[in-house]
Amino acid sequence: MSKSRCSVALMSSVVATAKEANATGPKAVELVLVKEQNGMQLTNSTLLNPPQSPAQAQDRETWSKKADFLLSVIGFAVDLANVWRFPYLCYKNGGGAFLVPYLLFMVIAGMPLFYMELALGQFNREGAAGVWKICPILKGVGYTVILISLYIGFFYNVIIAWALHYLFSSFTTELPWTHCNHTWNSPRCSDARSPSSSPDPNDTFRTTPAAEYFERGVLHLHESQGIDDLGPPRWQLASCLVLVIVLLYFSLWKGVKTSGKVVWITATMPYVVLFALLLRGVTLPGAVDGIRAYLSVDFHRLCEASVWIDAAVQICFSLGVGLGVLIAFSSYNKFTNNCYRDAIITTSVNSLTSFSSGFVVFSFLGYMAQKHSVPIGDVAKDGPGLIFVIYPEALATLPLSSVWAVVFFVMLLTLGIDSAMGGMESVITGLIDEFQLLHRHRELFTLVIVLATFLLSLFCVTNGGIYVFTLLDHFAAGTSILFGVLMEVIGVAWFYGVWQFSDDIKQMTGQRPSLYWRLCWKFISPCFLLFVVVVSIATFRPPHYGGYIFPEWANALGWTIAASSMSVVPIYAAYKFCSLPGSSREKLAYAITPEKEHERVDRGEVRQFTVSATLPA
């Protein structure tokens, strides 16, 4: 009896010592019986799969509160596309029937990929490039997503500048897009397609005050002949862009300590405004017709391939995977944070927000359709045209229109800011984790990044800036993002290994991912992404803006931009392979083996060379 108590006491002391030595997460301690001497059992302990060193974990900055992280992720994932893209896709693709492929792809691809990125960043505690110490040859994937995030910043900040311009213009008794009596209006402008107007065979050539305000009053598009005639930057938009850049800098310069506070406003405000707009929208005449059109179920549309393709692409882009943002944000989590629960919460909130915003959008579209006695299809559109033309036109017809316009553009501003913050944080974290010199001068490096973004964004606020914007939107953030996510999931599931990745998650959360998640990472998600990449290339259509067709050199430039990010993967892989010592087999072994396992490679043990088709339970 006493011998048993002594043995248990000794084991407890060994375990306690191990816990104190590294308290960053749950541990597995192997106790081995060494010998029995004088009636006492002596044991030896070994820490299995130890997490990262305590020094590294302690040096890493962490979120002040768990809510800061959740709001940052939700704020990034819920962006302008939730308002201007999802509702239109739902309406166009069979209404409620569209939810079938959308929810299916969310469960088999969206959630698993989101979960994977959160876990990847949290365990390795580094940005998008640094996490690839799990498979050094694929570090180029990290640089690819950083480059894509930087490209997106060149044009995404311009949308926020447009919203800011509209916000300033809303502080007036009469909104400037209400009538055609302004200097920027053309003879084609017709004051609202009002029911009292007599039919005119030339109506198809007329434009509304809202459309002319956006294209002529804000963009000054009429002063440009095309992308080869950009003209100078418009000082009004450039000034708004400066304010956006200043706001971004002071939100990011101190890291998550400052950005985590900003998102308490930028991530919550859109929900308050959406609720207010919903209450106002459902009281408008024709709102019920609009909502009915939004939700009308046409299951026959599910037989069309385009519906499934739209759902698959929407899932990939709406959650923000493949941009390095989720990895960067989660790298500042505490090691033992429950990233699984975070993934479920944030993806669910994102989908519910997209679906709910449809009620807001289509209540106003139904009102506009009834007011102008036209089918809803004539007023329903997606993209900037919805939030900068159709919605402002609807708001201009309401009592207290200026107040509602201010509320609406404040929502757009906050929706855009936290998404832009996420993209910039991906670039900053990804690079300062790689280069210690940048880490020591984060504030200065952040200034360099936002200034570079500003200078290149100036091309998008020229007279022909909308053409540059369209080109970047079409090429910089399309197939390249899908390619980046595909390489990412292949690297984690097939090179690093699903079983090892599951071990990492167990160290953090104390529980191994279920067989479902491992199957998704290993087989379902890669196949899904491969399908989407192939489809996006096969169904490629050259960009256009209205009736303007881009010249061939512009399309070539667009593909060059897309290829510049994707090419980083093979270029870095070739560089890494050639720079390693040894034979070709040894080079490959070191290139695909996690850095922490290189000692095993020296002994000739390379688990990646062991073929296994099983997924242990």
Tens of pLDDT along 165-211?
Answer: 999 999 999 999 999 999 999 999 987 554 444 445 455 568 899 99
pLDDT at 45 over 50: no
pLDDT of residue 610: 64
List all residues 6 or more positions away from 607 whose beta carbon is below 8 Å from its beta carbon: 497, 500, 593, 597, 600
77 is in an annotated binding site: yes
Q: Write out the H or E segment, with its range, that includes residue 33.
A: strand 28-37
The mean per-residue pLDDT over the stretch 258-262 comes to: 92
- Name the region of 504 (left: φ>0; alpha: ψ -120 to 50; beta: rest): alpha
pLDDT average, residue stretch 427-435: 95
* H-run or E-run covering 154: helix 139-169
Give the model's confidence band at 488: pLDDT under 50 very low, under 70 low, under 90 confident, else very high.
very high
Round to the nearest angstrom and report the end-to-end CA distance of the chain: 38
Residue 550 DSSP label: -
Q: Is 1 helix (H, G, I), strand (E, B) or coil?
A: coil
Say what the pLDDT of residue 452 is. 96
Query: 208: Cβ–Cβ under 8 A, 6 or more apart, which residues?
Result: 189, 190, 192, 193, 389, 393
Average pLDDT, rounded, for the chain: 87
Query: Is 415 part of any known ligand binding site?
Result: yes
Question: Is the separation of the CB atoms in 425 and 249 below 8 Å?
Answer: no
Structure confidence by residue, pLDDT tens digits, 244-257: 999 999 999 988 98
The runs of H, that is alpha helices, within 335-397 are 339-372, 384-385, 391-396
- Averaged pLDDT, 291-302: 90
Give the C-alpha separation, 16 to 13, whole Å: 5
Q: Is the Cβ–Cβ distance between 576 and 568 less than 8 Å? A: no
Quick one: pLDDT band at residue 617, thresholds 50, 70, 90?
Answer: low
Integer Cα distance of 283 and 367 in angstroms: 10
pLDDT at 111: 97
Collapse the DSSP code of 50 into the 3-class scheme (helix H, G, I; strand E, B; otherwise coil) and give the result.
Answer: coil
Which of 521, 476, 513 lies closest to 496, judged by CA? 521
Regarding pTM above 0.85, the answer is: yes
Look at the block and give the residue holding tokens 């239109």. Answer: 88
Give me the mean pLDDT over the 138-147 stretch.
97
Report the distance separating Cα 21 and Cα 610, nearest Å.
33
pLDDT higher than threshold 50 for residue 365: yes
DSSP string, 271-319: HHHHHHHHHHHTTSTTHHHHHHHHH---GGGGGSHHHHHHHHHHHHHHT
Residues 330 and 426 sit within 8 Å (Cβ to Cβ): no
Q: Is the pLDDT of residue 471 over 70?
A: yes
- Name the residue among 501, 356, 342, 327 with its Cα closest to residue 430: 327
Q: According to the annotation, is 262 in a ligand binding site?
A: no
**Confidence band, pLDDT 50/70/90 cuts, at residue 608:** low
Residues of the chain with pLDDT > 70, as a percent, come to 87
Question: Strand, coil or helix: what is 410?
Answer: helix
Q: Alpha-carbon distance 163 to 144, whole Å? A: 29
What are the φ/ψ torsions at residue 528 (nearest 5 degrees)?
-60, -45
Q: State how far the Cα of 221 lies from the Cα of 116, in Å rounded to an integer.
A: 43
| DSSP assignments along 88-146, one per residue | HHHHHTTGGGGHHHHHHHIIIIIHHHHHHHHHHHHHHTS-TTGGGGGSGGGHHHHHHHH
Do residues 342 and 70 touch, judged by C-beta distance below 8 A?
yes
Q: What is the 3-state secondary structure (H, E, C) of 227-266?
A: CCECCCECHHHHHHHHHHHHHHHHHHCCCHHHHHHHHHHH
How far apart are alpha carbons 611 and 602 in whole angstroms?
20
pLDDT-derived band at 30, boundaries 50, 70, 90? very low
The pLDDT score that the predictor gives to residue 499 is 94
Res 205: pLDDT:
66
Q: Are 31 and 45 in contact (CB under 8 A)?
A: yes
Q: Which domains does the chain have, with CATH numbers?
A: 93-184+207-579 (1.20.1740), 585-616 (no CATH)
> What distance in Å separates the CA atoms of residue 433 and residue 256, rounded to the nearest whole number?
14
Task: Decide: helix, strand or coil at residue 448.
Answer: helix
Residue-wise pLDDT for 61-120, tens only, equals 899 999 999 999 999 999 988 888 899 889 988 888 899 999 999 999 999 999 999 999
* Angstrom distance (rounded) from CA 571 to CA 565: 10
- The residues, ordered by sequence, that sit 6+ positions from 225 with a Cβ below 8 Å of its Cβ are 464
What are residue 613's phi and psi, to 5 degrees?
Answer: -105, 10
Query: Taking residues 353-362, what's their average pLDDT?
Result: 93
Confidence check: pLDDT of 607 > 80? no
Q: What is the pLDDT of residue 203?
A: 54
pLDDT the model gives residue 611: 54
**Distances in whole angstroms, Cα of residue 48 to Cα of each of 9, 498, 524, 553:** 21, 18, 30, 57
pLDDT value of position 407: 95
pLDDT band at 9 (very low <50, low <70, confident <90, very high): very low
Taking residue 592's Cβ as centre, other Cβ atoms within 10 Å add up to 23
Does 419 appear as a known binding residue?
Answer: yes
Apex 494 CA angle, 122 and 135, nearest 5? 55
**According to the annotation, is 75 in a ligand binding site?**
yes
What is the residue type of 180?
Answer: C
Helix axes 479-490, 305-318, angle to 10 degrees: 70
> pLDDT tens across 556-588, in order?
999 999 999 999 999 999 999 999 988 998 999
Check pLDDT > 60 for residue 49: no
The answer on pLDDT for 122 being more than 90 is yes
Nearest residue to 481 via CA among 588, 388, 561 = 561
What are the structure tokens assigned to 28, written together?
């597995």
Residue entry with tokens 């304010």: 243
Nearest to 322 by CA among 114, 501, 491, 140: 114
Length reported for the chain: 617
pLDDT band at 230 (very low <50, low <70, confident <90, very high): very high
Residue 199: predicted pLDDT: 47
44 is in an annotated binding site: no
Q: How confident is the model at residue 212 (pLDDT cuts 50, 70, 90)?
A: very high
Mind listing the pLDDT tens digit for each residue in 373-387? Answer: 889 888 888 888 889
Is 579 marked within a binding site? no
Q: How far apart are CA 274 and CA 407, in angstroms?
A: 9
Helices first, then strands: H and E counts in the chain: 30, 4
